[in-house]
């Protein structure tokens, strides 16, 4: 303010002095006053021009700097410029924080949808677009009820009771591949709603598998327990002849053995799932492994029938496999025992271990059993899955053998493949990778194979 006063007085003084020297004798004071007033007016015009320049700078968006000099307008310009720059920095920082926030929501594994007070979509991330089939160009500001037509979701949205979530099918859900979404709405702000969606398909499948597993184990154990309880009650209440008594005891032993086999297979699966992967430095002799499997196969064939199967074993001599001898024996013997149980007596079963020309090796079991329909093959390695439940129980199977084979194969980097033609038999193969197969080294000590049936 002082600078404005100084410049005004300076203009008036200069103008008055000019008028004083320009006046004729006798009218100096009149001319000096007139010129002082003119100087004041000139100062006012120049001051207004600086103000207009500041106003024009503000109207143009204050993009470029201008020279306003000192004084009131210069100070006003400096203060406004600092305020605008501070505001610009805050706006940039706010935009950056918003971008970071949206990027975090975009990276969220859950679907996120922001709805306004009227239920229109303000923003959604890519996960939500996949869950509900939203399109950023087409569906922005559309009402959520017009895009998500599930009746359960519509009722959930209408009741405005968001204390719990709901489960609904996803966009790509179908009968062969169901997709389940958990959707929860959270109110925020002035009537706005945050929608969170989560794909719970795997969780639902795991829960269904757990329920099926418990139900199957309970069923498999209850059946022999019922038989045992019945025979025990018979032996306790009836006077039986020795021959009949021995027959009942034999049946009881058979059912007890069935339960023991089931528990053993369950423990094997549990051990496979919870133990470290087998080492690639422990080598198992294929010759020992095949001899043990051949002995077990002959014993099982004689136990199941008086007329043994035609068992043929072929092997590549001098080979070794890197891995766990116990696991490998369990997998190979399970494939062989399955072939024996399902192949009619007297028919041929071929067991072969051969090296592949391109590297690696294949263990293969070929039987002449009833074969398996194509629709059953993808599910054969599921726990307790049976093509024919009654036949499986007659042969003494637990429904866990192929699940064990699959786990052992995966743990050894191998691949289990199944080929079958109904009425013509089946071929089960385990393909081992090249780095787990070698010819036996001279003087090397291979791991021995434990005996287990």
119 and 245 both lie in a single domain: no
Q: What is the pTM of this model?
A: 0.57
Domain span at residue 168 reads 109-199
248 and 286 both lie in a single domain: no
Task: Give buried/exposed letters for 362-392 (b at 16+ CB in 10 A, else e).
Answer: bbbbbbbbbbbeeeeeeebbebbbbbeeeeb
CATH assignment at residue 386: 3.30.565.10
228 and 334 both lie in a single domain: no
Residue 80 lies in a domain: yes
Report yes or no: 41 and 33 within 8 Å, Cβ to Cβ: no
Whole-number pLDDT of residue 242: 84
Domain end position, chosen among 275, 306, 332: 275
- Residue 335's SS3 state is helix
Residue 329 lies in a domain: yes
| All residues at 6 or more sequence positions from 303 whose CB lies less than 8 Å from its CB, including other chains | none
Whole-number pLDDT of residue 443: 47
Domain end position, chosen among 134, 165, 199: 199
For 428, left (φ over 0), alpha (ψ -120 to 50), or beta? Answer: beta
Residue 134 lies in a domain: yes
Whole-number pLDDT of residue 384: 78
231 and 344 both lie in a single domain: no
- Residue 386's SS3 state is coil
Element (H, E) at 319: strand 319-322
16 and 75 both lie in a single domain: yes
Whole-number pLDDT of residue 216: 75
For the chain, what's the residue count?
A: 453
418 and 308 both lie in a single domain: yes
432 and 335 both lie in a single domain: yes
156 and 211 both lie in a single domain: no
Residue 391 lies in a domain: yes
Residue 279 DSSP label: P
C-alpha separations of 230 from 172, 249, 251, 397 in Å: 51, 12, 11, 22
Q: How many domains does the chain have?
A: 4
Whole-number pLDDT of residue 389: 56
Residue 104 lies in a domain: no
CA angle 283, 285, 291 (to 5 degrees): 155
444 and 332 both lie in a single domain: yes
Residue 298 lies in a domain: yes
329 and 318 both lie in a single domain: yes
Whole-number pLDDT of residue 224: 81
Residue 103 lies in a domain: no
217 and 343 both lie in a single domain: no
Residue 212 lies in a domain: yes
Whole-number pLDDT of residue 450: 44
296 and 411 both lie in a single domain: yes
CATH assignment at residue 195: 3.30.450.20
Domain end position, chosen among 253, 275, 297: 275
CATH assignment at residue 259: 1.10.287.130
Whole-number pLDDT of residue 451: 40
In whole angstroms, give the CA distance from residue 410 to residue 399.
19
- Spans in the chain with pLDDT lower than 70: 1-12, 15-36, 39, 41, 43-44, 46-47, 54, 57, 60-75, 77, 388-397, 441-453
Whole-number pLDDT of residue 397: 63
């Amino acid at each position: 303010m002082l600078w404005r006063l100084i410049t005004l007085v300076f203009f008036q003084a200069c103008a008055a002095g000019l008028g004083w020297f320009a006046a004729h004798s006798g009218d100096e004071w009149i001319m000096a006053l007139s010129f002082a007033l003119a100087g004041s007016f000139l100062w006012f015009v120049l001051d207004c021009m600086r103000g207009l320049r500041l106003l024009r700078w503000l109207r143009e968006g204050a993009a470029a700097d201008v020279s306003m000099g000192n004084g009131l307008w210069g100070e006003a310009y400096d203060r406004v410029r600092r305020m605008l720059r501070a505001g610009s920095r805050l706006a940039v920082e706010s935009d950056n924080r918003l971008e970071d926030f949206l990027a975090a929501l975009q990276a969220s594994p859950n679907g996120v949808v922001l709805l306004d007070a009227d239920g229109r979509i303000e923003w959604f991330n890519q996960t939500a677009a996949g869950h509900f089939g939203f399109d950023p160009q087409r569906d922005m500001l559309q009402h959520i009820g017009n895009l998500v037509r599930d009746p359960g979701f519509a009722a959930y949205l209408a009741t405005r009771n968001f204390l719990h979530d709901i489960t609904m099918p996803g966009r790509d859900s179908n009968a062969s591949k169901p997709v389940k979404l958990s959707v929860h709405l959270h109110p925020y702000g002035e009537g706005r709603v945050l929608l969170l969606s989560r794909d719970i398909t795997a969780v639902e499948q795991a829960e269904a598998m757990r329920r099926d597993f418990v139900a199957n184990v309970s069923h498999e154990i209850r059946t022999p327990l019922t038989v045992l309880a019945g025979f025990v009650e018979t032996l306790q209440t009836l006077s039986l002849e020795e021959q009949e008594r021995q027959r009942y005891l034999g049946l009881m032993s058979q059912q007890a053995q069935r339960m023991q086999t089931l528990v053993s297979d369950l423990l094997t699966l549990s051990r496979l799932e919870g133990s470290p992967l087998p080492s690639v430095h422990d080598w198992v002799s294929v010759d020992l492994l095949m001899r043990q499997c051949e002995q077990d196969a002959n014993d099982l064939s004689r136990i199941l029938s008086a007329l043994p199967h035609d068992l043929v074993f072929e092997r590549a001599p001098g080979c070794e496999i890197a891995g766990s001898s116990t696991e490998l024996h369990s997998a190979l013997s399970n494939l062989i025992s399955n072939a024996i149980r399902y192949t009619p007596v007297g028919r041929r079963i071929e067991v072969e271990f051969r090296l592949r020309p391109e590297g690696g090796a294949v263990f293969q079991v070929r039987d002449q059993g009833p074969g398996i329909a194509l629709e059953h093959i993808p599910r054969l390695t599921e726990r307790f899955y049976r093509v024919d439940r009654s036949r499986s129980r007659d042969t003494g199977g637990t429904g866990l053998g192929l699940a064990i084979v699959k786990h052992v194969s995966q743990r050894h980097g191998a691949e289990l493949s199944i080929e079958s033609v109904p009425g013509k038999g089946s071929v089960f193969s385990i393909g081992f990778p090249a780095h787990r197969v070698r010819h036996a080294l001279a003087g090397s000590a291979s791991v021995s194979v434990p005996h287990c049936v």
